[in-house]
Structure formats: structure tokens, C-alpha cells
Amino acid sequence: MVNALTIDVEDYYQVSAFESVVNRAKWSQYESRVEKNTQRILDFLEACQVKATFFVLGWVAERHPTLVKTIHKMGHEVASHGYSHRRIYTQTPEQFREETKQSKQILEDLIGEKVVGYRAASYSITKKSLWALDTLIEEGFLYDSSIFPVWHDLYGIPNSSRFPYIIRRNGGSIREYPLSTIKLCGMTAPFGGGGYLRLFPPFVTKWAIKRLNHKEKQMSIVYFHPWEVDPEQPRIKGSAFSKFRHYVNLDKMESTLISLLHDFQFAPIRDLNPSFLSISDVISYEGND
Ligand SMILES: [Zn+2]
């Protein structure tokens, strides 16, 4: 079973956990660490001979064009993480279309290839923003990986499909790769990315991936961010909860990731076998927006 390895390329001061204390207009005043941290990830992926999907923020791509070219040249998939890292349901459909087009164009100009994959800032395709799927279809995206089938304060569509599926809309269809979850005692629990990956000991994540791969015969979708392999990053003064969410176990992340790369097979989303797709949950998406 091949699992998906995905990296959301953004800097430590751009995350949703700190958006109430970091003014977007002042982003450029923060020390930039995204290039160095992403290079570190590229190095250990190279050492482990693994390719991944990098969802790159347009704002970062504009300021670090060489980084985007390097990711592409090293054989990884370059996909879009939007432009501004504003959650979709805080934007109007017009704003969303404009920034989606803009960020796609920036990436395509840099790599000289079509960008077909999308992941929303903070997984913000929810029932309030299903209209974004229509925009993605119209703008030429073939897949999305933004829907978390869980309850969470910032994201999630509880009870949506836990496995890759096709979403049909009036204007066409798009493949959805939902973030990984495990069913425990009737509850759907997230694992395999970001804070969850840092919070749980590696054996728990490995147990969950094995369970998904072998018992449910499904791939997992692992995700993380360049700032998560950077324990030295400057500290931002946020709420205790935000600080916990952002800083817990940063020093252990790289070894956790390398251990996962050692134990499981990974590939970029573009290379995954589409026979895993089902259309089981499409019906529940129609008419919800
Ligand atoms: Zn992000």
C-alpha cells in the first residue's frame, strides 16, 4: 500500500493558530525560515528516496522562486496552498477565485507545468464553503485535499467520507483526498499530520497507518509543514492553547518523519492509484450549499 506524503509550504508566522496576533501586512518583517526548513525536508526525502506533494503558498512562492523550482527539479509534485492563507469561508467567492487564479499562475510560471492539486489554508473547505469546489473545478484543478472528516473549531465536515472519493458538482467533478482519520469506538479521530503527528508517539501513528492500510485497505495521507522541523524558530506570543498546538514536540518531528519514511511507502498524490477512489459520499454533498 502506498501512502500520500504532503507538505504545506508556509512559514511559522503564517499559521492560523497565530493569525489573531500576527498582522498579515507585517509578514515580511518576520525572519523568513521557510526556504531553509524546506531544504532540510528535501534533503531527508532525498536520503530516504521518497517523493512528495508540496502545497506551496503563493505568497511564499513569489518571494522564494528558486525554492519552488528546486522542489520541482527534484521530482516532487508542486501543488497550490492558495495565496494568502486566509481560510476560504472568511473570503467571498470573488476573492477566493482571484487568489486561486493568482497563486496557480505564480506556480505554473515557475515550474512550466500545470498545477492540478489544491489544499486550502487550515483545511477550510467546510459546509460553509463548498462553493470553493466549483471554483477549483473551473480553474482546472483535478484534485483537492482540504476536507477533514472530523469536528474541529476551525475545519472539518463531520461524517463525510474518510477515504478518497469523487465529488460531482454541476460544473464537473473533482477528486477529494480527505486527511487521515481512524475510527475508534464509533468516533472519528484524526492522525497523521501536523499537531497530531507531533503529539502522538510514533508507535501510535504507525499503528494507525497500519490499521488503515491493512484492515481498511486504504492509504493514509500524511501532512506536515516546514516550520515543524524547526525547533529553533522565533517564539510568537499567542494564547496558551495556540502555543501548545504550534510548539509541542517540534524537536522530535524530524525523527518521527524519518521513522515513518523508513517503515511505510509514500508517494506524491499525483502518483497514487485512482482505483482507490469511490463515489460513495458524493450524494451528501449535493445541495448542501
Ligand atoms: Zn497552511
| CA of 187 relative to ligand 1 center, distance in Å | 25
Q: Count Cα neighbours of 47 within 13 Å in the Cβ-side half-sphere.
A: 12
Beta carbons of 108 and 146 less than 8 angstroms apart: no
* pLDDT over threshold 60, residue 285: no
Query: 249: which DSSP letter?
Result: T
Mean pLDDT of 258-285: 75
Cα of 53 vs centre of ligand 1, distance in Å, is 14
> Would you state the pLDDT for residue 288?
43
**pLDDT per position as a tens digit, 88-114:** 999 999 999 999 999 999 999 999 999
Q: How remote is the CA of residue 15 from the centroid of ligand 1, in Å?
A: 6
- Side-chain half-sphere exposure of 156, counting CA atoms within 13 A: 13
Model pLDDT, residue 283: 39
For residue 154, the CA-to-ligand 1 centroid distance in Å is 12
Cα–ligand 1 centroid distance for 74 (angstroms): 22
- Asked whether residue 287 carries a pLDDT value surpassing 80, the answer given is no
CA of 185 to the centre of ligand 1 (A): 30
Ligand 1 midpoint to CA 123 (Å): 8
| Mean pLDDT along residues 49-75 | 98
Distance, CA of 50 to CA of 71 (rounded, Å): 12
Q: 215 C-alpha vs ligand 1 centroid, how far in Å? A: 30
* Cα-to-centroid distance, 47 and ligand 1 (Å): 25
Grid coordinates given for 140? 482546472
Is the confidence at residue 31, as pLDDT, over 60? yes
Question: Residue 2 phi/psi, 5° resolution?
Answer: -100, 130
pLDDT at position 142: 95
- How many angstroms is it from 211 CA to the middle of ligand 1? 27
pLDDT of 17 strictly over 90: no
Please give the pLDDT value at position 278. 53
Please give the distance, rounded to the nearest whole angstrom, from the Cα atom of residue 210 to the centre of ligand 1. Answer: 26
Average pLDDT, the chain: 92
Cell of 85: 492563507
* Cα–Cα distance for residue pair 113/120, rounded to 1 Å: 21
Q: How far is the CA of 245 from the centre of ligand 1 (A)?
A: 14
More confident residue, 219 or 285: 219
Dist. CA 10 → ligand 1 center (Å) = 6
For the chain, domains (ranges, CATH) are: 2-285 (3.20.20.370)
The answer to whether the CB of 168 falls within 8 A of the CB of 134 is no
Interval between CA 82 and ligand 1 midpoint (Å): 9
Question: Residues 177-181: what's their mean pLDDT?
Answer: 94
- Categorize the per-residue pLDDT at 289 as very low, low, confident or very high, splitting at 50, 70 and 90: very low
Provide the pLDDT confidence category of residue 282 given band limits of 50, 70 and 90.
very low
CA dihedral 184, 179, 33, 268 (to 10 degrees): 130
Residue 168 confidence (pLDDT): 86
